[in-house]
Structure 1
Amino acid sequence: MLRAVCDLARAAGLAITQVYNKKVPINIQQKPNDSIVTAADMIAHEIIISGLRVLTPSIPILSEEALLSWEIRKTWEKYWLVDPLDGTKEFIKRNGEFTVNIALIDQGKPVLGVVYAPILSIMYFATQKDAWKEDKGHHTKIYSKKIDPPTIVVSRSHMDSELTRYLTTIGTHQILTIGSSLKFCMVAEGKAQLYLRCGATNIWDTGAGHAIAVAAGAAVSDWQGQELDYVPKKSYLNPGFRVSII
């Protein structure tokens, strides 16, 4: 199944690249919640959803681009959680730091995750036991690592005053800014030791990265120390969180 999901992410990434390289019109639109959607988001969504329905017909799917009501979702114990294009702002800025995110949620926990950065030709993927990185065709098993002084990874697009104040309370450290779910992956592969997010995020922004970070030996918890969970709720929002070395 993991191999098949990686293939779906790769196919979605190829379609996104067609828009990125201006072979398909980008068609930027604003959604009712004021977030931005492009043709790339929608094309990738269709590829992933169609593929998952063939792969696992009995498992429901929640995608950022096809939200479902609480009444439909409230009894789900297992489901796919999809962000067809995570980092739309980075996509529009053309810096390559955007990803395709696919996670399988079981009993509130992400048990499989794929994060694919098509422009960077890098894919991260994990089951509950192992996490891997594919970089230009080369596969490497990845692990989180303690390094002193630590590198703290933060969002390129969401560096708020609360986070800035918190960083002043930490001892010697280095800052790495990057977009999308790649921040989870930086901790997973040991290039960073801490990823901080003060503001709320949507569950599809974190599910796949969460699976990869935990499989690599890191922890993903809210600011009270409780692991993020994905049991269906009326709200799609996560609280602020930390991805850290255990």
Structure 2
Amino acid sequence: MDLNPIMLKAGAEIMRVYAGDIAVTTKGDASPVTEADERAERIILENLKSIVPGIPVVAEEEAAAGRLPEIGNRFFLVDPLDGTKEFISKNGEFTVNIALIEDGVPVYGAVFAPALDRLFWGGGTQAFAADVKDGEIVNVMPIRVRATPEAGLSAIGSRSHGGEATQDYLKAFSVAEFVAAGSSLKFCRLAEGAADIYPRMGRTMEWDTAAGDAILRAAGGRVETLDGQPLLYGKRVQDDAPFANPHFVAFGDPAIRA
């Protein structure tokens, strides 16, 4: 499955909005949304329907509008603009996320950071990173998590949603540095061996994490809940909102947890 053409189309539309003045509105959950979110999601939904008809798509803005499809054991999760706060502040750390879920597991994912001209994708046991130049994918390289560094771990966390609970969790590990980053790029940094551990003790939705999770798993990493179970997807019925995640931790080298 090649989702990269869709990623590039959505990213190009986002960058058209990014180049001007960004109008921001607030959704019912108090989170921000922009015209870029809506335009990119429309492009993604139209293209997925054309390329892979019949597979349900759970998309962030559709979900915010109360339009949730019936899903089976195979469906897509879409976040057309992950890191809207990063987009609004124009720091470049926002992404387009698409993931394919099968039986609760993210089996394929693609993440595109259009302002950084960086694209990641992966599934199974293969993950890749590439640059994007003039709308073309160049410098494709396989990526893999790195072994646990002897000098201490590089921890990565949210730029907009950090907290004391994250720092408390990291006290159990030998951490040499903590780096803040936005959006699903945190998963990608682990997947390419640039960081080692990413704890998330705040609220996330499945469309925030699934694509990066798929890439990290394909690169040899692991994402799990705080009780050590793999993070699963398709949590339609639960006490929290549909498709909400519990707290989780992403590891580059799975041996870190031991």
TM-score relative to the length of structure 1? 0.94
In 2 relative to 1, CA 127–170 (structure 1 residues): closer, same or farther, beyond 3 Å?
Answer: closer
Q: 1:34 aligns with which of 30, 35, 41?
A: 30
Counterpart of 2:142 in structure 1 is: 141
What's the secondary structure of 1:190's corresponding residue? coil
Larger displacement relative to structure 2 (42-51 or 168-177): 168-177
Is contact 1:132-1:139 (8 Å) kept? Answer: yes
Larger displacement relative to structure 2 (127-136 or 13-22): 127-136
Q: 2:109 aligns with which of 83, 96, 113?
A: 113
Q: 2:167 aligns with which of 164, 168, 179?
A: 164
What's the secondary structure of 1:173's corresponding residue? strand
In 2 relative to 1, CA 71–31 (structure 1 residues): closer, same or farther, beyond 3 Å?
Answer: closer
Rounded to whole Å, the distance in 2 between the matches of 1:99 and 1:131 is 17
Is contact 2:156-2:178 (8 Å) kept? Answer: yes
Rounded to whole Å, the distance in 2 between the matches of 1:229 and 1:172 is 27
In 2 relative to 1, CA 94–70 (structure 1 residues): closer, same or farther, beyond 3 Å?
Answer: closer
What's the secondary structure of 1:66's corresponding residue? helix
Name the amino acid aligned to 2:250.
V
Rounded to whole Å, the distance in 2 between the matches of 1:27 and 1:197 is 29
Counterpart of 2:87 in structure 1 is: 91
Is contact 1:115-1:123 (8 Å) kept? Answer: yes
Give unmatched runs, 5+ long, in structure 2: 133-137
Is contact 2:169-2:199 (8 Å) kept? Answer: no
What's the secondary structure of 1:238's corresponding residue? coil
Name the amino acid aligned to 1:76.
G
Counterpart of 2:247 in structure 1 is: 240
TM-score relative to the length of structure 2? 0.89
Rounded to whole Å, the distance in 1 between the matches of 2:202 and 2:42 is 29
Q: Does 1:231 align with 2:234?
A: yes
Name the amino acid aligned to 1:141.
P
Counterpart of 2:5 in structure 1 is: 7
- The count of aligned residue pairs is 241
Report how far residue 168 of structure 1 moved. Answer: 3.5
Rounded to whole Å, the distance in 2 between the matches of 1:206 and 1:59 is 19
After TM superposition, what 4+ stretches of structure 1 lie above 2 angstroms from structure 2? 68-73, 164-172
Name the amino acid aligned to 2:123.
T
Name the amino acid aligned to 1:14.
A
Report how far residue 176 of structure 1 moved. Answer: 1.1
Report how far residue 15 of structure 1 moved. Answer: 0.4
Q: Does 1:53 align with 2:49?
A: yes
Report how far residue 70 of structure 1 moved. Answer: 9.6
Report how far residue 222 of structure 1 moved. Answer: 0.5
Name the amino acid aligned to 2:40.
A
Give unmatched runs, 5+ long, in structure 1: none
Rounded to whole Å, the distance in 2 between the matches of 1:206 and 1:145 is 21
Name the amino acid aligned to 1:197.
R
In 2 relative to 1, CA 71–36 (structure 1 residues): closer, same or farther, beyond 3 Å?
Answer: closer
Query: RMSD between aligned alpha carbons?
Result: 1.6
What's the secondary structure of 2:62's corresponding residue? coil
Is contact 2:234-2:243 (8 Å) kept? Answer: no
| TM-superposition CA deviations, 1:128-150 (whole Å, max 9, x none) | 12000012421010000022311
